[in-house]
With several copies, the nearest count.
Chain A
Amino acid sequence: MKIIYFAWLRQKTGVSEEDASPPETVTDVAGLTGWLKGRGGGFAEAFDDLSVVRAAVNQEHVGMDHAVSAGDEVAFFPPVTGG
């Protein structure tokens, strides 16, 4: 699973992109954030308040209950501020 971080999530985690293999118990976005938070440090900080975290799976906006699996590209970012 490819995981990408943008804006302050990238800064807090210190990672812009990684290949990760979460355990089989991680089946949705919420589960993934929990697993990442469990790493502690900047990851715990980045995923501390999920109300300001948005996710995309395979480049589509999704909710926290959206399924994730091994081949997916998952991105985490704050609410968008373009335009």
Chain B
Amino acid sequence: MIRVQRQDFDVGAELAALSGDNRGIGGVCAFVGLVREMAGGEPLRSMSLEHYPGMTEKALARIEAEARERWPLEETLIIHRYGKLEPGERIVLVATASARRQAAFESCNFIIDWLKTKAPFWKLEQTGGGAEWADARDSDGAAAARWFRDAKGKQLD
């Protein structure tokens, strides 16, 4: 399931709903991204997350579908917020459920890595020095690139 929303989410409630009555699940892996207090070495006052409505949902659904193709998953969830966020606030929740824990870990890690380079979100960071658009990190590109080859060795875009 994909959700793009302004409001916060309740991690416990979301994970409970994710598992539901599915007794085939042996492990749930969840990642919660939070706003850190520092941005480029300066204290962050707040950030505004802009996104591309329509394309965002498509991009997330495609990432989710790719994860389900690569790993035997029982359930998947991606919630991403937009709008104004302050340090300590939740930005994103990715959760994957599988019979086996390794599939849950890998797919959750895959989804957040791909989301970081493929989902159309942009952070405008507000510090004492003014507002700056966050730069994409090389490390995010490298993290996403780890997953570029699928199990059959086929190159994916």
Chain A in direct contact with chain B (Cβ < 8 angstroms): yes
The residues of A that contact B117 with a CB separation of less than 8 Å are: 79-80
* B30 is an interface residue with CB less than 8 A from chain A: no
In Å, the complex CA distance between A15 and B122 comes to: 17
Partner of B116, one of A7, A8, A75, A82: A82
Is the interface on chain B under 10, 10 to 19, 20 to 34, or 35 or more residues? 20 to 34
CB contacts under 8 Å to B, within A30-83, are 56, 59-61, 75, 77-83
A73 CB to nearest chain B CB (Å): 9
* A4 is an interface residue with CB less than 8 A from chain B: yes
Interface of B toward A, CB cutoff 8 Å: 33, 49-52, 54-55, 58-59, 80, 91-92, 112, 115-124, 133-137, 140
Query: Which one of B49, B91, B117 has the greatest number of beta carbons of chain A within 10 Å?
Result: B117
Is the interface on chain A under 10, 10 to 19, 20 to 34, or 35 or more residues? 10 to 19
The residues of A that contact B91 with a CB separation of less than 8 Å are: 82-83
The number of A-B residue pairs with CB atoms under 8 Å apart is 73
Q: Is the CB of A6 within 8 A of B33?
A: no
A8 CB to nearest chain B CB (Å): 5
B31 CB to nearest chain A CB (Å): 9
Q: Is the CB of B136 within 8 A of A81?
A: yes
6 shortest interchain CB distances as A-B pairs: A82-B121, A79-B136, A59-B55, A7-B122, A83-B116, A81-B134
The residues of A that contact B33 with a CB separation of less than 8 Å are: 83
In Å, the complex CA distance between A77 and B122 comes to: 9
In Å, the complex CA distance between A7 and B140 comes to: 19
In Å, the complex CA distance between A83 and B94 comes to: 10
Partner of A75, one of B55, B118, B137: B55
The residues of B that contact A61 with a CB separation of less than 8 Å are: 59, 118
The residues of A that contact B123 with a CB separation of less than 8 Å are: 81-82
In Å, the complex CA distance between A83 and B92 comes to: 6
Q: Is the CB of A7 within 8 A of B124?
A: yes
Q: Is the CB of A80 within 8 A of B119?
A: yes
